[in-house]
Amino acid sequence: MILCCGEALIDMIAQPTVSGEQGFVPHSGGAIFNTAIALGRLGVQTGLLTGLSTDMFGQQLMASLQASHVATNQTIRSDRPTTLAFVQLQNGHATYSFVDENSAARMLQPEDMPDQLPGVSALCFGGISLACEPCADAYAALLERHGADRAVMLDPNIRPGFIKDQTRYRTRLNRMIAQADIIKVSDEDLDWIIPGTESHADKMPVLFQAGPTIVIVTKGGDGATGYLANGTEVSVPVQKAEVVDTVGAGDTFNAGVLARFSQAGHLNKKALRSLSADNLRAALEFGAQVAAITVARAGANPPWAHEI
C-alpha cells in the first residue's frame, strides 16, 4: 500500500449564485488528499494519513475517500475544524486564501504519528502540511520513523506565504529531502530550494548530493523532466487538453507517476536506484496523461482507471 501523508481540506471554489452574486462551492481537496484519491481511482492500493475533523466538512472528506477506495484507518479524527481554502480562478489558474488556524489537519503532533505501519510499502509526503506547524514536525517525525525501509516520494509544493521561519523550514525540508527516494518539484520550487541562475540540470548534482535517487521537475506548459542520480535525463511534453482549471494537476501527476512505478514493481528503494531511462519516461508520460484529464474538468477530479 502507498500511504499518502498530508493535509485534507475543503476547496471553496467560486461560482455564481442564482442571484448573480459570487458564492463558493465546497469541494474535497488538499494536495496529498488529491494524490490519494487519484491513486485509489487508478486501482492502486492506497491510504491517507491526515488529521480529519468530525465536522460536516470532515464527513464530506471521509465520504470522498471511501468513494475512491482510499483506506481511512490511518486518519486521526478530532473535533477541530476543517481547513478551508478559498479558490479564485483566473484564466483557469488557481490562487488560494486559507483558513487554517487550529484545524484538525494542522494541529497534528509528532506523538500522534503511528508506531507501526503494517502493509505500507511506500510513503508520499507534500503540500502545505510540510510548512505549517505543528503538523510539519509531525510528518517529519513520521518519515524519520518509517522511511528507512520504504520507498518515499516528496513533493514540497513550496508556498512562501506559509513559511513563518525560513531557517527552520529549510532545515526540516532538507532533512526530509535527504530521506526521500523521489523528489518532485516545480521549476519555482527548485529555484527556491537552490537559489541561483544556473540551469535546472546544473542544480541536479547539489540536490542528488543530499540523498534522493530520482528528481522530477515539472515546468507547466513545458512538460516535465526526470533526472536519475547517474546523470540520465528524460523529458516528456504535456499532453494536449482543453484546460478548464489547473486545480489538482500536479497532485494527479504525482499519482500517475507513483501508480506506474507501483504497477511495474519499481516502487521500492532497490528498484528505484537501478531504474532505467525507459521506465522513468513511462512513469512521466503516464503522470502527464492522468494530469491532462484532470485539468480538462472543473476542480480536482482525477480520472478513474477506465478513463485512461
**Percentage of the chain lying above the pLDDT 90 cut:** 79
Query: Across the chain, where does the E strand assignment appear?
Result: 2-5, 9-16, 22-29, 46-49, 51-53, 70-71, 76-78, 84-90, 93-99, 122-126, 151-155, 182-186, 214-218, 224-228, 233-236
For residues 173-187, average pLDDT: 97
What percentage of residues in the chain have a pLDDT greater than 70?
A: 98
Q: List the grid coordinates of 103.
A: 484545524
Looking at every residue in the chain, the average pLDDT score rounds to: 93
Write down the residue that cell numbers 494536449 correspond to: 240
* Domain extents in the chain: 2-307
Please, which pLDDT band fits residue 207 given cuts at 50, 70 and 90?
A: very high
Whether 244 has a pLDDT exceeding 90, the answer reads: no
Q: Which tens digit of pLDDT belongs to each residue from 59-117? A: 999 999 999 999 999 999 999 999 998 877 676 566 778 899 999 999 999 999 999 99
Q: At 300, list the grid cell.
A: 480536482
Looking at the predicted structure, is the pLDDT value of residue 299 above 80?
no
Architecture of the domain defined by 2-307: 3-Layer(aba) Sandwich (3.40)
User: Angle, nearest 10°, between helix axes 249-263 and 277-295?
Assistant: 140
For residue 303 the three cell numbers come to: 480520472
Instruction: Please state the rounded mean pLDDT for residues 214-224.
Output: 92
Cis before 134 (ω within 30):
yes
Query: Which of these ranges, 80-84, 110-114, 128-132, 217-221, has the smallest mean pLDDT?
Result: 217-221
* Kind plus residue range of the DSSP H or E element containing 262: helix 249-263
pTM equals: 0.94
SS3 content of the chain, % helix, strand, coil (to 5): 40, 25, 35
Lowest mean pLDDT among 113-122, 133-142, 154-163, 277-286: 154-163
Beta bridge partners of 18: none
| Tens digit of each residue's pLDDT (9 = 90 or more) over 10-63 | 989 888 888 878 888 899 999 999 999 999 999 999 999 999 999 999 999 999
What's the DSSP call for residue 53? E
216 or 245, higher pLDDT: 216
